[in-house]
Amino acid sequence: MAQTERKQATGTDDSLLRAAQVRKVYRGSAGEITAVDGISLDVSSGEVVGLLGPNGAGKTTLIKCCLGIVSPTDGEIIVNGADPFDSPRAAYRSVAAMLEGARNVYWRLTVRENLRFFAGLQGRRPTKVDGQCDRVLRRVGLTEKADEVARNLSRGMKQKLSLACVLIRDTPLLFLDEPTLGLDVEAKEDLKDEITRLADEEHRGLVVCSHDMDTIRDVCDRVVIVNDGRVVTRNKMDALLDAFQTSAYRLEFAETGDVRSGLDSFRTEWHGERLDVTVPDNKALYNLMEQLRACDAVVDSIETVQPDLGEIFLEITDETGQTAGRQCERDIFDGDADYTAGVKS
Ligand SMILES: Nc1ncnc2c1ncn2[C@@H]1O[C@H](COP(=O)(O)OP(=O)(O)OP(=O)(O)O)[C@@H](O)[C@H]1O
């Protein structure tokens, strides 16, 4: 890659990841699979980005490309100023990943030995990192288990150890794949706090992949939703929720009149006597009110339905919702002034 292009791709100083138009085609005896088909992903310091998509969407492949584990067929990847294929050592020093949960820890080693090992990979003397080990163990709630052999830990504790092994490496960029898997409610809340703290106080950049939409909603500044190897939507979390918030209303009736059969042109869902109705715009809301009057319905209360990220995700990635997804993507790009690097997919 030409130096000028690289400079462009490296972007601003706080850019920790710039992946532009990444493509990965796996070739095997069964033929070709395009796992990633031109995805771009940026992460800056202090930012938490959610990477969402259904099974097989290409998330893990993209992450492995960014880590330099899988070689992309096409595209540019820069990790904290280093190309993971041209300068693997420099890139490796900047990024740590929690992939496939607890499978990346050494089950015969104790919790502390695991941490020393991973600190050693970062070039530090394992015997000199005990203070930091204690701090990391405190943060993930494993202090009491420091001398326990990893294989004797519960599933949730193994997950915490896996996170601790990522944190001990002290890298500016972190990839966390399904970090809440197996965690109880309290541990999940602690993990969310820790992710937010890492971004806000330590200015790290994090990419979080999860099917746990509560966690994604609570910790992510932005989300990128992929399907079939392509980006279907990217947006700031607030804007994504807002985009869906304005279109759905919950009505309570004093009198329902003929309303159950009179709202055919709207998307409706009854919950007992309550009605959720989705309208595309303000004009349609006005039409809805007219229609309700025509049905002799008396509305007792009307409120906007809080958008559920899980439902938004399904709507966007559902095959029948492709148009909605594309529309959403266009709206989002139109309004996303921060996303100006020319790396839209
Ligand atoms: N090593 C490989 N060789 C061939 N095909 C692969 C390989 N790894 C992944 N794939 C295929 O690439 C596609 C994307 O897989 P990937 O694991 O990246 O998806 P994912 O979004 O991480 O899914 P999940 O949420 O289930 O982890 C799938 O069709 C998968 O079968």
DSSP letter string over 121-182? HTT--GGG-HHHHHHHHHHHT-GGGTTSBGGGS-HHHHHHHHHHHHHTT--SEEEEESTTTT
Q: Is residue 25 part of a domain?
A: yes
- Long-range CB contact pairs, 2-10, < 8 A, 24+: 5/76, 6/76, 6/78, 6/83, 9/76, 9/78, 10/78, 10/81
- Write down which residue in 172, 193, 228 finishes a domain: 228
In a domain, 8, yes or no: yes
- Rounded to an integer, the average pLDDT of 313-334 is 50
Q: Are residues 129 and 259 in the same domain?
A: no
Q: Is residue 343 part of a domain?
A: no
Of 228, 262, 282, the domain-final residue: 228
Answer yes or no: is 237 within a domain.
no
Q: For ligand 1, atom 4, name the residue with the nearest CA.
A: 26
Residues 194, 298: one domain? Answer: no
Top mutation candidate among 36, 61, 230 for ligand 1, by most atoms within 8 Å of CB: 61
Q: Do 110 and 209 sit in the same domain of this protein?
A: yes
Whether 79 maps to a domain, the answer reads: yes
What's the 35 CA to ligand 1 centre distance in angstroms? 6
Tell whether 39 and 113 lie within a shared domain: yes
Q: What percent of the chain has pLDDT over 90?
A: 44
Are 222 and 279 in the same domain?
no
User: CB of 57 closer than 6 A to ligand 1?
Assistant: yes
Please indicate, yes or no, if residue 189 is contained in any of the structural domains. Answer: yes
> What value does the mean pLDDT take over residues 71-92?
94
Question: Which atom number of ligand 1 is nearest to the Cα of residue 24?
Answer: 12
Q: Say yes or no: 119 and 211 in one domain.
A: yes
Which residue has the least CA distance to atom 18 on ligand 1? 58
**61 Cβ inside 6 Å of ligand 1:** yes
With a 6 Å cutoff on the Cβ, whether 55 touches ligand 1 is: yes
Do 52 and 185 reside in the same domain of the chain?
yes
158 plus 45 within the same structural domain: yes
Statement to judge: residues 135 and 112 lie in one domain: yes
- What pTM, to 2 d.p., does this model score? 0.75
The residue segments making up the domain with residue 288 are 243-304
What residue owns the CA closest to ligand 1's atom 17?
60
**Position 323 in a domain:** no
Interface predicted TM-score of the whole assembly (ipTM), two decimals: 0.98
- Report the range of poorest mean pLDDT among 193-197, 242-246, 322-326: 322-326
Same domain for 70 and 214, yes or no, is yes
| Confidence band for 6, pLDDT divided at 50, 70 and 90 | very low
Sheet holding 31-44, edge to edge: 31-44, 15-28, 74-79
State the average pLDDT for the chain: 82
Q: Same domain for 220 and 267?
A: no
Place of tokens 């079939």: 228
Number of domains in the chain: 2
- The DSSP line for 190-248 is HHHHHHHHHHHTT--EEEEE-S-HHHHHHH-SEEEEEETTEEEEEEEHHHHHHHHHTTE
Q: Which atom of ligand 1 is nearest to the CA of 57?
A: 21
Same domain, 202 and 260: no
Residue 56 Cβ inside 6 Å of ligand 1? The answer reads: yes
pLDDT tens digits, residue range 234-264?
Answer: 888 877 777 665 567 888 888 888 887 878 8
CATH number at residue 265: 3.30.70
Q: Specify the higher pLDDT residue, 345 or 151.
A: 151
Which domain-ending residue is among 167, 202, 228? 228
Given a cut of 60, whether residue 33 has pLDDT beyond it is yes
| Pocket of ligand 1 contains residue 181 by CB under 6 Å | no
Looking at residue 30, its pLDDT comes to: 81
Task: Give the mutation target among 23, 24, 25, 26 for probing the ligand 1 site: most ligand atoms within 8 A of CB.
Answer: 26
224: CATH: 3.40.50.300
Would residue 236 count as lying in a domain?
no
What is the H or E stretch that residue 310 is in?
helix 309-317
